[in-house]
Amino acid sequence: MNEIERQLEAKIAELEQQKATIRQQEKFLRSIYDNVQEAIFVVDVTADGEFYYQGFNYAAKRLTGIEDVIGKTPAQLLPLEAATAVEKRYRKCVETAATISYEECLPFRGEDTWWLTTLNPIQDETGTINRIIGTSLNITKRKQTETELDRDKNFLQALLDNLSDGIVTCDRNGILTLFNQATREFHGLPQQAIPAEGWAEYYDLYLADGKTRMSPEEIPLFRALQGESVRDVEMMIIPKQGKPRIVLVNSDPIIDRHGSTIGAIAAMRDITDRRLAETELKKERVFIKALLNNLSDGIVACDENGILALFNQASQEFFGVPQEPLPPEECAEHYSLYYPDGKTYLKQEDIPLFRAFSGESFVNAELMAIPQEGKARTLLANGSPIVDAQGVKLGAVVVIRDITERKQTEQVLADLNQTLTKLNNELEQRVKKRTSQLEKVNTILFATTEQLRKSNQELEQFAYVTSHDLKAPLRAIANLSEWIEEDLADKLDDDTRYHMNLLRGRVHRLENLINGLLDYSRVGRLKHKPKLVAVGQMLAEIIDSLDVPADFTVEVRGEMPTFITEEIPLQQVFNNLIGNAIKHSDCDNGRITISVEELDDFYQFAVADNGKGIDPQYCDRIFTIFQTLEARDTKESTGIGLAIVKKAVENQGGKVWVESQIGAGATFRFTWKK
């Protein structure tokens, strides 16, 4: 009996130990159930296929805002449409007896929320599914991000499709990934995922001659995929359906943040009309040259540097020598230019072309040309400067008419008048007899005088028309250097190429200067509608757009304001100040700090750098247009950027100044009205 009692007590103790272990496990599982971040819910499945909630963990209650769920159906917790969809998925889990996952949108706390839900069926000892355990992860933010990405993608596609230039991209394997609308119109074909070897044939790509199909190695996009930056390559697209096009292509590799090439992009500009216009311009030049060489009047013109640029056939006959690019002080002797007395060389300031180049417009300037070979001539010159629509001097033009015969006629008439006077005094008694003869002579004199007056008017009108009609062909002269280098590319030596590059550098500098002047002229003249401007975001975009060296740090200190103002002028000011600080920094580990101080009616911004600084005596001068502290050949600069800053700031009612010492960096401060 005692043995049985001992066994019974041992069994009871073992059972108590098992109960304690089970309670401990249940407590552990409950702690997991209540503390996980995912929503967990338990659904009982009745024999007649109804669903009742038996529990929400703490996360589920917190995320849904629902506390009392036990014994309730989906229809009691959710709107009818949502409850119907939930029950349909519960039923699918039961029918398939398998775990299912899906995304669903459910309304909680008055807002639609997105969930990634997983349902796990639980079977009883008979194999019947009597319970579902579900987990739900709130993915609302992810869905919002996906929606925003889709919207951005659609915007980018719309932007690309509205560009007039064709845009093409490929991936690292050379498979085409993007064709915008312009590209589809160029080729008359949609984008196809074909390898580079098939591009030329499928998309009808030819060299500029329009006859030779391009090899893959000649296609700009393929070249860019190999790591090359391709600039201004001309090629032709000759689609089987559609018109042939001449396109100018620029292409670059697409580099990720690790420096790896992940694809390439090409931009194609249709220059067919431009090429046709250039052809017409060449025809026009030939026509104008033939016209000028068939005029009986001499036409001479110089460019903006005062160098003789036009000397027609009549001019060569007048002066007995061909055109020479001489300085003004040598022109009188070389071209045998004399005052009307025929003895004294013209002074430089009296040479007609020099007068016109100096800005003077004149008519009927008389001179003589007495070449060593050829006849002496009396000439009448009309001249004027040539300026563009902005008043910039492009050169000067002079129209020269040979009036030698007219002068001789005038002398004959003068002698005749003298004779008539003498005869009139001596033969007064014979006046009546000679009246008829004198009337005829007077008629001749009147007709001759009237003809001379009309000739002078025609000469004035011709000078005016010529000065304007020459502007267009003269402006085209600037393009000759590029055409010459293209046409003679295989014949130019290094020295000539150097000078061609130097010439284009000067043209580029002039272009930057003109662009700067245009920007300067627009400041304050073009009004922009005020809008809400987030200065911090604007600075981030400006910094991202600038070519900031790897060892350079740009810090935006403190919180930047958001206020209503004209965005473009403020953007110009920051762009110039930050760009100048980067350009003129000569030290390693350059640093720019941008800060703001709020005043009563203004924000006072500061852009400080740790560069070499500015001598205080030049702190006012640098805001004057065209003023630079270093030679332009040393540091490329137009001298307009800070003038734009000053004009933009003052136009907004603010002021700008700089605080600096040599070797201590510089701080540019400006105020901007709130």
How do residues 321-337 score in pLDDT, each as one tens digit? 887 877 767 777 888 89
Does residue 470 share a domain with residue 435?
Answer: yes
The pLDDT of residue 461 is 47
What CATH number is given to the structural domain containing 258? Answer: 3.30.450.20
Residues 625-647: tens digit of each pLDDT: 766 665 445 455 666 778 889 99
Does residue 458 share a domain with residue 338?
Answer: yes
Does residue 177 share a domain with residue 111?
Answer: no
Mean pLDDT throughout 48-69?
87
Cα of 202 vs its chain's centroid, Å: 32
Q: Is residue 511 part of a domain?
A: no
| Three-state SS at 3 | helix
CA dihedral of residues 280, 284, 286, 289 (deg, nearest 10)? -170
pLDDT category of residue 26 using cuts at 50, 70 and 90: low
* CB-CB contact of 580 with 613 (8 Å): no
Give percent above pLDDT 70 in the chain. 81
pLDDT category of residue 668 using cuts at 50, 70 and 90: very high
The pLDDT of residue 228 is 93
Does residue 206 share a domain with residue 60?
Answer: no
Mean pLDDT throughout 579-608?
89
Q: How far apart are CA 385 and CA 304, in angstroms?
A: 10
Q: How far apart are CA 220 and CA 225, in angstroms?
A: 9
Q: Is residue 490 part of a domain?
A: no
The pLDDT of residue 547 is 82
Mean pLDDT throughout 241-269?
92
Q: Is residue 300 part of a domain?
A: yes
Pick the closest to residue 216 from 200, 204, 228 (CA basis): 200
Does residue 240 share a domain with residue 256?
Answer: yes
Residues 154-211: tens digit of each pLDDT: 777 777 777 788 999 999 998 888 888 888 888 888 878 888 888 988 889 999 998 9
Count of residues in the chain = 674
Which of 90, 122, 137 terminates a domain? The answer is 137
Q: Specify the range with the lowest mean pLDDT, choosing from 31-35, 134-138, 347-351, 601-605.
A: 31-35
DSSP secondary structure code for residue 218 in this structure? G
Does residue 50 share a domain with residue 14?
Answer: no
Q: Is residue 149 part of a domain?
A: no
Does residue 84 share a domain with residue 11?
Answer: no
Helix axes 567-583, 535-545, angle to 10 degrees: 40
Mean pLDDT throughout 652-673?
92
Does residue 1 share a domain with residue 108?
Answer: no
Does residue 232 share a domain with residue 302?
Answer: no
Cα of 302 vs its chain's centroid, Å: 33
The pLDDT of residue 278 is 82
The pLDDT of residue 255 is 92
Does residue 405 share a domain with residue 307?
Answer: yes
How many CA within 13 A on the CB side of residue 52? 9
Q: How far is CA 274 from CA 471, 473, 487, in A?
A: 19, 16, 18
pLDDT category of residue 562 using cuts at 50, 70 and 90: very high
Which of 245, 270, 295 terminates a domain? The answer is 270
The pLDDT of residue 475 is 47
Residue 235 domain boundaries: 163-270
Which of 270, 290, 308 terminates a domain? The answer is 270
DSSP 17-34: HHHHHHHHHHHHHHHHHH
Residues 294-311: tens digit of each pLDDT: 888 999 998 888 888 888
* CB-CB contact of 298 with 287 (8 Å): no
pLDDT category of residue 462 using cuts at 50, 70 and 90: very low
Q: Is residue 234 part of a domain?
A: yes
The pLDDT of residue 451 is 66
Mean pLDDT throughout 432-441?
68
Q: For residue 601, how many other CB atoms are within 10 A of its CB?
A: 9
Q: How far apart are CA 417 and CA 449, in angstroms?
A: 14
Residues 154-163: tens digit of each pLDDT: 777 777 777 7
The pLDDT of residue 42 is 93
| Residue/partner pairs of 342-345 with CB below 8 Å, 24 or more apart | 342/368, 342/370, 342/376
Helices (H) and strands (E) in the chain, counts: 20, 24
Does residue 305 share a domain with residue 248?
Answer: no
Mean pLDDT throughout 110-115?
89
Does residue 416 share a domain with residue 318?
Answer: yes
Name the average pLDDT for the chain.
Answer: 82
Token pair 């070519």 is at which residue?
A: 547
Pick the closest to residue 321 from 330, 32, 538, 211 (CA basis): 330
Q: How far apart are CA 299 and CA 401, in angstroms?
A: 9
CA dihedral of residues 401, 402, 404, 410 (deg, nearest 10)? -30
The pTM (predicted TM-score) of the whole model is: 0.37
* CB-CB contact of 641 with 580 (8 Å): yes
pLDDT category of residue 467 using cuts at 50, 70 and 90: very low
The number of domains in the chain is: 5
